[in-house]
Structure 1
Amino acid sequence: MGPMSTNPVRQTCSHPHHCSEDVRLRVMARSPLTRDLSPEQRRELDTHLRALSWAEGDPLMLAGDTPGGVHLIMSGRVRVTRDTIEGDEITVDIAAPGDVLGPLDTVPVPVVDSAWAMETTCALFLRAETLGQVVSEFPPLAMALLRLQQERLAAGRDREVAQTTRTVEQRVAGVLLQLATRLGQVRPDGSVLLQVRLRRDDIAGMASTTVESASRAMAKMKRNGLIDSGREWVVLLDAAGLADL
């Protein structure tokens, strides 16, 4: 076999990104990892951060990589995916501005999930070693780190329990409500538009079901006046009705 003409391994396509100190501090003020720090502590931490950007479709990280730190999303949307044992790729989360991506560890460790920019995305990168260094200096950061780790564990447990105790329709409703809390835009008529290009397979992956089952559940919700939807968009017409499910 002759040599390949192109390298099949996809690399992380990050680019240095310039943003003002004011923008970086605003991101830290809303990120769950850094929002409990004082303004002075955030300015100190800012000296350790590096701003990066990715184009649509670029990977922020790939499963098995060791990114060496965490990303605080500044702008854009990021699809977090996981490879199944059958070799399929499923969506497990969608990250938005303020969210933290990467291993919450103070030493570099490999990641189990991949993360892909759904649109032009910018993030602040904090090295694991720096995180370990400042945790001892800033107790609120240590508490936030512990809280985020616990939340990630709890989310994983909830996902496993939901697969055996909830119907597909209930799981899909839960996914839509969860996305609404982070990505929802309330419109004048009281409906909530999910501000993300949402594919059916994204919803299916997050609800731990098949695309066909997720589509059937959403069609039923649409008939019942709970949601409206089209190609890559969803509007919640009756959030209370979804919660009742």
Structure 2
Amino acid sequence: MNATPRPPPLTADPVAPEHCSAQLRHRILSQARYFSGLSAEVLEQVSRRFRELHFPADAVICHEGGNAERLFFVAHGKVKLLRHSAAGDDVLLDLLPQGALFGGLAPLGTRHYPETAMAQTDSCVLAISGADFQQLLEQHPQVTLAVLASVARSLDDAREAIRQISTSDVRTRVATALLKLAERLGEDGADGAEGVLIRSPLSRQDLAAMVGATPETVSRVMADLKREGLIDTGRQWVRVLDPRGLQALDT
């Protein structure tokens, strides 16, 4: 008798994306790396410069190569970053959770959007224009310093990604990607089970694009990791059972 597919262990987030309340906007911006530590008064000034935009699943938020005119923060839902390859395919670069930023602006040294951003789920994002962001930098030195630190971290992340692709095997790259997703999207013990749950419609093809491998190879690696007790998987979810075991693959 065939076993029925296992459903996701948790139900979907009950907050509808169209309900991006003032309290949610404030919380997202107060936790953003550019604006954390600002006083409530200054944060309110920052919040007034952002527009609230809503996108259904699979809608494009910004196009790779387009003029970088807005910086975005994910307020609700998940956003995926894609880049068009020489072969004509859209390669998945990253999945962004609530609070993550994407897009680009001239004041940040970005003239064109480096990736296409697409709503993976129904999403609400907060957007700010280049002119408004420039004024924030001029009026609030604390924001300027935070931006410089963030740019430096992004460069470090880019170097690490290049190192992973050039020096690591597929098994290691898959383990690293799962740890990264667990850190950004994971729910630790939310349903009473052990491990960190990654609840997202992430296909093997998506994961393969993230690590620079074929879907067939990634499927074999995932099966091996599950057999070794490092992860568990189901429909639209992955659970990291042994983070240290995955980390050890990169040593």
Which range, TM-score by smaller chain? 0.7 to 0.9
**1:120-179: CA deviation from partner (whole Å, max 9, x where unpaired):** 100111111111111121122112211222222222221111112111111110010011
Question: Which residue number corresponds to residue 73 of structure 2?
Answer: 72
Amino acid at match of 2:26: L
Question: Which residue number corresponds to residue 133 of structure 1?
Answer: 135
SS in 1 for 2:118: strand
TM-score if structure 2 supplies the norm length?
0.86
Gap change, CA 1:231 and 1:20, over 3 Å in 2? closer
Match of 1:111 among 89, 110, 113: 113
Alignment of 1:1-245 (within 5 A): 19-106=20-107, 109-187=111-189, 188-245=192-249
SS in 2 for 1:209: coil
Q: Distance in 2 between matches of 1:59 and 1:162?
A: 29
Structure 1 unaligned residues grouped into runs of 5+ = 1-16
Amino acid at match of 2:147: L
Q: Distance in 1 between matches of 2:154 and 2:83?
A: 15
**1:175-229: CA deviation from partner (whole Å, max 9, x where unpaired):** 1001111111112232111032211122112212221221111111011010111
* Shift in Å, 1:60: 0.7
TM-score if structure 1 supplies the norm length?
0.88
Structure 1 stretches of 4+ with a deviation exceeding 4 A read none
Q: Distance in 2 between matches of 1:184 and 1:225?
A: 18
Question: Which residue number corresponds to residue 5 of structure 1?
Answer: none
* Shift in Å, 1:232: 2.6
**Retained in 2: the 8 A contact 1:36–1:141?**
no
* Shift in Å, 1:59: 0.5
Q: Distance in 2 between matches of 1:219 and 1:143?
A: 45
Gap change, CA 1:227 and 1:31, over 3 Å in 2? same
CA RMSD of aligned residues (A): 1.7
* Shift in Å, 1:67: 4.6
Gap change, CA 1:235 and 1:19, over 3 Å in 2? closer
**1:1-54: CA deviation from partner (whole Å, max 9, x where unpaired):** xxxxxxxxxxxxxxxx67432221111112222223222211011121110010
SS in 1 for 2:200: coil
Q: Distance in 1 between matches of 2:101 and 2:217?
A: 30
SS in 1 for 2:114: coil
Q: Distance in 2 between matches of 1:30 and 1:207?
A: 29
Percent of residue pairs identical: 31
How many corresponding residue pairs? 229
